[in-house]
Chains A and B, each alone.
Chain A
Amino acid sequence: MALVSVKDLHKSFGELEVLKGIDLEVEAGEVVAIIGRSGSGKSTFLRCLNQLEHHDWGTIQLADQRLDGTSMTPGELSQNVGMVFQSFNLFPHKSVIDNVMLAPVVVKQTPKSEARRIAEEVLAKVGMSDKIDSYPAQLSGGQQQRVAIARALAMNPKVLLCDEATSALDPELVGEVLRVLEDLAKEGMTLILVTHEMKFARDVSHRVVFMHQGRIHESGPPETLFTRPQTPELAQFIASVV
């Protein structure tokens, strides 16, 4: 059974229908890249998956639980779905280690010593072991995003959502964040990424989903999708970004 199963998902903001019926199944360990123009609904879709937006219609199944805004508490949800944001959103008044420890201690009630061990482990994984006492303002954008990834991983989620995780970074810092995501993919982490990094989507993901006007317009293995787009919209999109 699929880890994430989305059926006929609809979402409107006022009069504007942003998602017009999304169907998607993601298996455990799968890396899915969502591409498309801005305004195509990719970020909204991702935000529905962890209930930062509540969908109007359709179903989201996570493992065997259905998300409808009441079945899971935010605490339970955060142990299933982690999220990495475009703008990092680290907590500025907390050191790196405290950023990572906060949710395990406060939400999961993990004892502090255990939470610290977990935090050190995930920070080592993203290559930030030497900065655990720094504050976010003392770090580069790439370092902040790696800490944000560690913060999400500390809750041991089943799936990690990345919303344009490298879009706010200077070009020379993109690589270090993508390498971390690539390592996670190799370890078997389930990743759903909204991305503008076409090379990354092509090299790392198992499946690419092209969204257009609130629908999944085309999807398939990256090689097929990028070399033999079936629709003029995707062909045009690829031509415009490569």
Chain B
Amino acid sequence: MTLDFSSLLPYTDQILEGLVTTVWLTVVTTVAGIALAVVVAYVRDGARVRGASLVSRLLGGYVEVIRNTPFIVQLFFLFFGLPALGVPISATVAALIAMILNLGAYTAEILRAGIESTTRGQHEAARALGLSRLQSFRHVVLVPAFSRVYPSLISQCIIVMLGSAVVSQISVFDLTYAANFIQSRNFRGFEVYLVVTAIYLLLAVGLRLVFEFVGRRLFAFRQGGSA
């Protein structure tokens, strides 16, 4: 068998389209998923002070459901299930919502570990200065909590980026969909998947580098020493 990468050239547009879709799905999911996780973690953290409310229990249920069911089933549930209930939903919107809900749940759980390891002294200092629970969460708790769990957070975002390949199953034109599309036309499966694999690898490395860059800015306080 001879390798023939030139057979991919006519499909450059499809590969680019797939790449763009995968990248923007990942970027939007990362931002929205982390924001969702912060809200979920804040509400669930309220149980520490005033006991578990109905909302915090519901959010706990959401986190457990997402973490204990396959992503592809969650995706199918949104894409095929919602229209069956009379709620029409496009493939792209279903993919985006599924990815955000997925990252949000995992990140909320990761973040919870960081939040729970906040020392009593930090809470008391914030209270003695008159900060409300929300002010304390925002200004005192959140950044150190993120810094403690940052490596796990990076991994989770990369997992979700790679997992986005599954959205090709509901015909979202992402990178994997592009690969399947090309392979079904030129039958050069080895070349197509080799190139797409390399692109995923570069995306994962790139995403990690971006996170590490942001982390160095955000957590500059850690470079002074440990405390």
A binds B: yes
Can you name 19 extra interface pairs (CB under 8 A) apart from A74-B132, A151-B129? A52-B124, A74-B130, A75-B130, A78-B128, A79-B130, A85-B128, A89-B119, A89-B121, A89-B122, A91-B125, A91-B140, A92-B144, A92-B227, A103-B130, A106-B139, A107-B131, A135-B224, A137-B222, A155-B130
CB distance from A1 to the nearest CB of B (A): 24
**Residues in A neighbouring B143, C-beta threshold 8 A:** 93
A114 shortest CB reach to chain B, Å: 17
Known: A52-B128, A74-B130. A107 touches B227 (CB 8 A): no
**A83:B128 contact, CB within 8 angstroms:** yes
Min distance, Cβ B123 to any Cβ of chain A, angstroms: 9
Minimum CB distance partner of A79 in chain B = B130
Residue of B nearest to A103 (CB): B129
Within 8 A of B (CB), among A97-119: 102-103, 106-108
B226 beta carbon closer than 8 Å to chain A: yes
> A87 in the interface, Cβ–Cβ < 8 Å?
yes
Query: A36 contacts the other chain (Cβ, under 8 Å)?
Result: no
Contact, CB under 8 Å: B129 / A78: yes
Interface string of A44-84 (1 = CB under 8 A from B): 00000010100000000000000000000111111101110
CB of B147 within 8 A of chain A?
A: yes
Enumerate chain B residues within 8 angstroms of A79, measured Cβ to Cβ.
130
Give Cα distance in the complex from A102 to B135, angstroms.
Answer: 10
List chain A residues, Cβ under 8 A from B219: 93
Confirm or deny: B225 has a beta carbon within 8 angstroms of a beta carbon on chain A: yes
Are A107 and B226 closer than 8 Å at their CB atoms?
Answer: no
User: Is A136 among interface residues, defined by CB-CB distance under 8 A?
Assistant: yes
Question: What are 17 contact pairs spanning A and B, CB under 8 A?
Answer: A52-B128, A78-B128, A79-B130, A85-B124, A89-B124, A89-B125, A91-B140, A91-B144, A92-B221, A94-B221, A95-B221, A103-B131, A134-B224, A135-B220, A137-B221, A137-B224, A138-B225
Q: In the complex, what residues of B have CB within 8 A of residue A92's CB?
A: 144, 221, 227
Contacts of A89 in B (CB 8 A): 119, 121-122, 124-125
Indicate whether B127 reaches chain A with its CB closer than 8 angstroms: yes
Identify the closest chain B residue to A51 (Cβ): B127
Cα-based distance from A73 to B129 in the complex (angstroms): 11
The complex places the Cα of A74 from the Cα of B135 at a distance, in Å, of: 12
Nearest Cβ on chain B to A226's Cβ, whole angstroms: 31
* A93 with B128: CB separation less than 8 A: no
Q: Give bound CA distance, A106 to B127, whole Å.
A: 12
A155 to B130, CA, bound (A): 9
Is A137 within 8 A of B225, CB to CB? yes
**A95 to B132 alpha-carbon distance, docked (Å):** 21
Q: CA A77 – CA B132 in complex, angstroms?
A: 12
- Give complex CA distance A62, B119 in Å: 29
Query: Scoring B residues 105 to 138 as 1 if CB is less than 8 Å from chain A, else 0, what string do you get?
Result: 0000000000000010110110111111001000
B125→A77 contact, CB < 8 A: no
Are B125 and A85 within 8 A (Cβ)? Answer: yes
Partner of B127, one of A74, A87, A90: A74
- Which residue on A lies nearest to B219, using beta carbons? A93
Say yes or no: A106-B224 contact (C-beta < 8 A), given A89-B124, A91-B125.
no
Question: Closest residue of chain A to B135, judged by CB?
Answer: A106
| Cα of A92 to Cα of B227 in the assembled complex, Å | 7
Give Cα A81–Cα B140 distance, bound, in whole angstroms. Answer: 20
A93 to chain B, nearest CB (A): 4
Within 161-182 of B, Cβ neighbours of A (below 8 Å) are at none
A76 CA to B128 CA, complexed, in Å: 11
Q: Which of A74, A81, A94, A107 has the most CB of B within 10 A?
A: A74
